Amino acid sequence: MSLCHGDRCPSAMVIGAGNRCVLVSEDPLSRAMQCETIPCPLPKGLYEHSVTRVGGEVMVFGGIDSVSGTCSDTLYRYNIREGTWKEVHTCTSTPIWPCGRRLHSAMCLEGMLCVVGGLTQNAILQDCWSFDPEAGIWTQLPDAPLGVCRAAECVVGDTAHLVGDSHSHHHNMHLTLTLKGGWGRREALPFQVSAAACVCMGPDIYVMGGSYHTQQVHVYNALTQTWRETTPLPAPFKFCRACMLSSHTMLIHGDGGTLIGNTLSTEERERVEGLRALRREDGRQALISILAPLQVPLESLSPSPLTEAVLPHLVSEILSLRQRVSGMERQSVRNRELFRSFTTGTCSTVETLIKRVSAIDVASLQTCIEGMSRYLPVAQRVSTMLPGVHQFLVDHPADELPSGDCPALLATLSALHRPFQTGTDALSALGTDTAESVACIREAADTLTAIDRVCPIPLPLDPFSLSLSDRCLYCRAEGYNAEVRELYRLAAPLIHYQASLTECMSGIHSMGGSMVDVKECRRVAVHSQSLLDTLSALATQQSEAYSLLREYQSMPCLMESDVQCAEYDVSLVQCQARNPRLSEGEREALNKDISTLQAKVSRLISQRQEKTVLAERLERHLIFPDVAVALCQPPQQLGS
């Protein structure tokens, strides 16, 4: 089962397994629900597909065939106005096409059909595609951060939200997607859910039902980024979809049946119904007024299904006409005021602007715009990286590097330096004269802003009905309008670049109006590269030094006296062994003791020699404070 959703259409399309397609709508007057079965070209065994409202069409994509077990990659397009279907097969209109899938997420994002994730026969997908209904072309977008399956999706503004997932450990997933900014992760859901229904009302996203969440309803506010739990559903749903039928009425359909929900309180619903009744009565009175010249009896206008259905439309048309007439009257008064307020001083402003426009070299402006369009993105990246690199250099002077964790510092500086160096090199290669370009672009943008405030003077339709003084004013205003037309004719090439100028000025303002000092960036990059080279050498040396230091500290501390004492013990036992009164057994025991003591002396001498060798090797690393402390020597300065 799938529902058409994506914007607040007056009807919902429900397509389930078995090729059954039903349009569900709500009567605007009686609030009664109406259902209509329509033909559908989908294969009868297709299910677990997506149905998405995109502009004036409903698009059905994917699903799995219950007979063959294969996933479909066919796109079906239903024209709402014409009531016709169109079947689009793989590669009939675009060189690339998403593979077949089921249980994927689909939504309308900035007029595009977006398809995310889903399942194939043997894999969970995380790819993302957009389909342009005008061009009929698929475009592959960046992959989702993880596989997506049975996620509930909803769009608020230009941001799609995907919540919950059937994949293990992702039941509290909350991802966002924008066509410009790509993917993002939000804080994990405070609940677990999969295959839920999801609709949005303003900034609020309602997540209803679904596995692990069968009757619960949670609401997420996209502005405050907070969750709250609200009134539960009257029936449990393990698998469901939902869409809005009106601004406050939603349709939920799934394994638990069909629900119609209203987000208004009882008091609010009574107030809305009261307003509808008043509007119907106003419409009835308006209809009586309209039909009065025809001498239609009042009794013939008693409420009837036809009258009740027509009245709201008549009221709407009458109010619309009244608003248009009022607007035209206000505009007419405003035009008369503008005509009366016209002075010859206004002409001097237009003459000044004509001179300013004539002084602008459009070819040079185009060159400046092209140069700044290449320069600004790079400069913005470099300007955001410069403080981090500079702060690292301040916090870690070269002579203090041996005191720190050199491998960690090397990794940190590498991550900062390499993109900064790349950006600095790119800025240097561009060779943009920022001062001249900014001045040229600013002058053109300011001129366009001034031109935007210049409009022709509205002239009276009948100049012959004017007084002589007003006719003179009319002629002067005609001359002024001719100058305005000349201004716009001259400014046409400049106006052509208005969007580019706005974009450039936005980039200039985002940088605080000051451009990146390329010389300063080069100086910082050279300093950073020097420090990076030093850290690269120190990281290797520090790893070797600390390895030797650990080995040195693991060995016992031996003095020369320790060896001498052991040798003395050997000589004592040897003297005892020379005693002629000893028996053979006693002499043999003493000889064993002598061998043991001599082995000890050899071991002590060897250990002392090894430690001496380690100490000599460590003396080459006295720039590291820990090594100097272990050897009881003063630390050496870097480079000494």
Please state the pTM of the whole predicted model.
0.46
Indicate whether 535 belongs to any domain: no
156-165, 168-177, 281-290: which range is least confident on average? 281-290
Asked if residue 311 and residue 354 are part of one domain, the reply reads: no
| Among candidate residues 309, 271, 266, 270, the one with its CA nearest the CA of residue 287 | 309
- Residue 255, pLDDT above cutoff 80: yes
How far apart CA 155 and CA 465 sit, in angstroms, is 57
Asked if residue 449 and residue 361 are part of one domain, the reply reads: yes
Please report the pLDDT score of residue 304 as a whole number. Answer: 53
Asked if residue 329 and residue 180 are part of one domain, the reply reads: no
Asked if residue 167 and residue 154 are part of one domain, the reply reads: yes
| φ, ψ for residue 311, nearest 5 deg | -55, -50
129-138, 254-263, 310-319: which range is least confident on average? 310-319
Per-residue pLDDT band at 348 (split at 50, 70, 90):
confident
Asked if residue 252 and residue 130 are part of one domain, the reply reads: yes
Q: Which residue has the higher pLDDT, 15 or 3?
A: 15
- Residue 531, pLDDT above cutoff 60: yes
Q: Give the tens place of pLDDT for each residue, 545-580.
A: 888 888 888 888 777 777 788 888 888 888 888 888
User: Which of 213, 246, 263 marks a domain boundary?
Assistant: 263
Q: Give the tens place of pLDDT for each residue, 463-519.
A: 777 788 878 888 888 888 888 899 999 999 999 999 999 888 888 888 876 788 888
Please report the pLDDT score of residue 601 as a whole number. Answer: 80
Q: Which residue has the higher pLDDT, 398 or 59?
A: 59
- Residue owning tokens 């020097």: 530
User: Which of 316, 340, 364 marks a domain boundary?
Assistant: 340
- For residue 361, the enclosing domain spans 347-522
**Contacts with 368 (C-beta within 8 Å, 6 or more apart), sequence order:** 436, 437, 440, 441
Asked if residue 451 and residue 352 are part of one domain, the reply reads: yes
Indicate whether 252 belongs to any domain: yes
Asked if residue 517 and residue 411 are part of one domain, the reply reads: yes
Q: Where are the beta strands (DSSP E) in 9-48?
A: 11-16, 20-26, 33-38, 46-47
Q: Which residue has the higher pLDDT, 529 or 582?
A: 529
Asked if residue 609 and residue 516 are part of one domain, the reply reads: no
Helices 560-577 and 584-618 pack at an angle, to 10 degrees, of 170
Q: Average the pLDDT over 429-448 and give the result.
A: 88
Tell me how many domains the chain contains.
4
Neighbours of 59 (CB within 10 A): 23
Q: Which residue has the higher pLDDT, 360 or 27?
A: 360
Per-residue pLDDT band at 459 (split at 50, 70, 90):
confident
Per-residue pLDDT band at 35 (split at 50, 70, 90):
confident
**Contacts with 195 (C-beta within 8 Å, 6 or more apart), sequence order:** 150, 152, 164, 166, 210, 211, 238, 239, 240
| Among candidate residues 261, 507, 286, 254, the one with its CA nearest the CA of residue 377 | 507
- Residue 102, pLDDT above cutoff 70: yes
